[in-house]
Structure 1
Amino acid sequence: MTINTPQLIYYRLLHLSLIRSKLIENMCPPPEDSVVKSVAVESSPSNNSIPPPPPMYKFLIGGLGLSTVGLLVATILLASNGGDSSGTAAAPATTAAAPSTTATSPAGVEFLKSKEMSAFFATPDTDNVCAGAKLAFDNKLCVDLEVPTPQAGANVTKGYVGDLDVGDLVPNTKPYWQSSMCPVNVHWHLGSEHYSVGQYDETGNGPNGNIPRPEWADRDLAATGTEDTDGEHQVQDGFRCKYYDPNDAKFTTPYNWQHCKDMVVGETYEVHWPHSAAGACGTVNQYQTPFYDGVFCNLPLDAFLTLGAQDIAGAVGVHGQVFTIVNDESYFYPDMIRGMIVDKEMGKDIHIYTGSTTGETRSNEMCSQYAPITWQVDRKCHMISASSFDKMCYDMKMQRDDMSDDLHAHGSRELVKDDLAANNQYYPVRKLLRA
Structure 2
Amino acid sequence: MCKPGDEEILGEFPSDKLLLLLVNSAGIATTTDTYKEEGSNKKLVAGILAFCGVVTVSSIIAMAAMSVQISNKAQPASAGTSSEGATIIINAGSGSTSGSSTATVGTTTKDEVQLFARPPVAGPNECEGKKIQIDNVDCLIDALEKVLPQAGGNVTMGFKGEMVVGHEPIKTPYFQNDMCPVNVHWHLGAEHLSVGEFDEMGAGPNTKPGDLRRKLAGNEEVRGGFRCRHYDENDKKFTKEYDWQHCVGMEVGETYEVHWPHSAAGACGTINQYQTPFYDGVLCRVGILGDLSRLPQQVGVQGQVFTIVNDEDYFYPDLMRGMIVDGEMGKQITKYTGSTTGTTRDNEICSAYSPITWQVDRKCHMISASSFDKMCADMKSQRDDMSDDLYPHGSRELVDSKYVANNQNNRALRGN
Q: What's the TM-score once normalised by structure 1's chain length?
A: 0.68
**% identical aligned pairs:** 59
Helix, strand or coil: the match of 1:395?
helix
Helix, strand or coil: the match of 1:323?
strand
Give the match for residue 333 of structure 1.
316
For 2:26 and 2:316, how far apart are their aligned partners in 1? 32
Letter in 1 for 2:286: L
Whether the 8 Å CA contact 1:211–1:238 is kept in 2: the answer is no
Which structure is larger by alpha-carbon Rg, 1 or 2? 1
Instruction: Name which of 373, 379, 388 aligns with 1:405.
Output: 388
Q: CA deviation at 1:396?
A: 0.6
Q: Note the residue ranges of structure 1 that are not aligned, 5 or more in a row.
A: 1-94, 213-222
For 2:405 and 2:192, how far apart are their aligned partners in 1? 14
For 2:290 and 2:209, how far apart are their aligned partners in 1? 40
Give the count of matched residue pairs.
Answer: 315
Q: CA deviation at 1:265?
A: 0.2
Letter in 2 for 1:366: I
1:278-313: CA deviations, max 9, x gaps? 00111111111000000000005xx757221xx000
1:355-404: CA deviations, max 9, x gaps? 00001111000100010000000000000000000011111111111111
Give the match for residue 361 of structure 1.
344
1:261-290: CA deviations, max 9, x gaps? 110000000000000000011111111100
Give the match for residue 215 of structure 2.
227
Helix, strand or coil: the match of 1:231?
helix
Whether the 8 Å CA contact 1:210–1:238 is kept in 2: the answer is no
Whether the 8 Å CA contact 2:344–2:396 is kept in 1: the answer is yes
RMSD of Structure 2 on Structure 1 (CA): 2.3
Helix, strand or coil: the match of 1:121?
coil
For 1:356 and 1:175, how far apart are their aligned partners in 2? 19
For 1:332 and 1:397, how far apart are their aligned partners in 2? 19
Give the match for residue 126 of structure 2.
129
1:18-97 paired onto structure 2 within 5 Å: none
State yes or no: 1:375 paired with 2:362: no
Q: What's the TM-score once normalised by structure 2's chain length?
A: 0.71
Change (3 A) 1:122 1:96: same
Q: CA deviation at 1:430?
A: 7.9
Whether the 8 Å CA contact 2:333–2:413 is kept in 1: the answer is no
Give the match for residue 82 of structure 2.
none
Letter in 1 for 2:189: G
Q: Which moved more, 1:138-147 or 1:102-111?
A: 102-111
For 1:396 and 1:385, how far apart are their aligned partners in 2? 17
Give the match for residue 112 of structure 1.
116
For 1:430 and 1:320, how far apart are their aligned partners in 2? 14
Structure with bigger strand share is 2
Whether the 8 Å CA contact 1:202–1:210 is kept in 2: the answer is no
Q: CA deviation at 1:258?
A: 0.5
Letter in 2 for 1:111: L
Q: CA deviation at 1:165?
A: 1.2
1:28-63: CA deviations, max 9, x gaps? xxxxxxxxxxxxxxxxxxxxxxxxxxxxxxxxxxxx
Give the match for residue 251 of structure 1.
238
Letter in 2 for 1:104: G
For 2:412 and 2:317, how far apart are their aligned partners in 1? 29
1:134-149 paired onto structure 2 within 5 Å: 134-145=131-142, 146-149=145-148
Q: Note the residue ranges of structure 2 that are not aligned, 5 or more in a row.
A: 1-14, 30-110
Letter in 2 for 1:139: N
Q: CA deviation at 1:142?
A: 1.0
